[in-house]
Amino acid sequence: MKIAMFLYDKMTALDFVGPFQVFAVMPGAEVITVAKKTGPVDEDSGLHLLNANAGIDQVDAADVLCLPGGIDNTHVQNDPEVMDWIRKIDATTTWTTSVCTGSLILGAAGLLKGVKATTHWAALPGLETFGAIPVKERVVRDGKYLTGGGVTAGIDMALTLLAEAFDDRTSQAIQLALEYNPQPPFDTGSPEKAPQDIQEMVIQMFTEGAEQAQRPN
């Protein structure tokens, strides 16, 4: 199974790393990191650890396409070459997936019209812009499209894909191998659980982050 994970500047590293860790141990999986050009990718937290081992001109098909998100990825949505490549790869996939605001990239490529999808809770209304049907769930499947909510939901999305592609037992075994058993100190992991002032704090963080991402380097 050939899995193409698209990387781009200003993306969120965990959107990629979470599902990558699951995909990397899938039986028979070949994971390829793809960007517009080969080489390092600067994600939004300043780690500078990500590297694309292929450019979009080197990959013309995949069984799975995965698009991570970022605080602001409008530069990707507005790139005709990348949009064309995403549509081309989607035509070959068994599964097309996203994490967080990666679904907005799929939407911008015209792939989610009439499709149920999710994204980070703060960006959920943006899916309607592209004709998608927003669903406030951690993982949403509609046909071959499998979208995950914000950031950490990428792990859930990848485990869901694993169960679909193989079987429940294989997915359960990999979940156990990764000891994916979240027990955070606070129960504020969704807007339904978080106080209003905490939600407002997050929106402010995202607003400032998006403004920073749009500034020239």
205 lies in some domain: no
Phi, psi of 159 (to 5 degrees): -70, -35
Q: Provide the residue range defining the domain that includes 106.
A: 2-184
- Residue 217: is its pLDDT beyond 70? no
Q: What is the pLDDT of residues 41-64, one digit of tens each?
A: 999 888 888 999 999 999 999 999
**pLDDT surpasses 90 at 68:** yes
Can you tell me the distance from the alpha carbon of 158 to that of 20, in angstroms, rounded to the nearest whole number? 8
**Closest listed residue to residue 138, CA positions, set 123, 125, 151:** 151
| Residues paired with residue 148 on neighbouring β-strands, in sequence order | 99, 139
Confirm whether 50 is domain-assigned. yes
Q: How confident is the model at residue 209 (pLDDT cuts 50, 70, 90)?
A: confident
Predicted pLDDT of residue 212? 75
Look at residue 158 and tell me if it is in a domain: yes
Q: How many domains does the chain have?
A: 1
Report which of 179, 182, 180, 162 is spatially closest to residue 171, judged by C-alpha positions: 162
Asked whether residue 137 is domain-assigned, the answer is yes
Q: Is residue 195 part of a domain?
A: no
Q: In the numeric block, which tokens belong to residue 52?
A: 């694309």
Task: Report yes or no on 212 lying in a domain.
Answer: no
Q: Which residues are catalytic?
A: 100
pTM (predicted TM-score): 0.94
The three-class DSSP label of residue 174 is helix
pLDDT digits (tens, 9 = 90+) for 112-156: 999 999 999 999 999 999 999 999 999 999 999 999 999 999 999
Per the CB < 8 A criterion, the answer to whether 202 and 150 are in contact is no
Which SS3 state, helix, strand or coil, does residue 65 take? Answer: strand
Per the domain annotation, does 208 fall within a domain? no
User: What was the pLDDT predicted at 214?
Assistant: 72
CATH number for the domain that contains residue 96: 3.40.50.880
Helix axes 168-177, 153-165, angle to 10 degrees: 140
Q: Is residue 100 part of a domain?
A: yes
Three-class SS state of 132: coil
Give how far the C-alpha of residue 13 lies from the chain's centroid of Cα atoms, to the nearest Å.
Answer: 10
Assign 216 a pLDDT band (cuts: 50, 70, 90): low
Contacts of 148 (CB under 8 A, 6+ apart): 19, 97, 98, 99, 100, 118, 138, 139, 154, 156, 157
Residues in CB range of 214: below 8 A, 6 or more apart: 72, 74
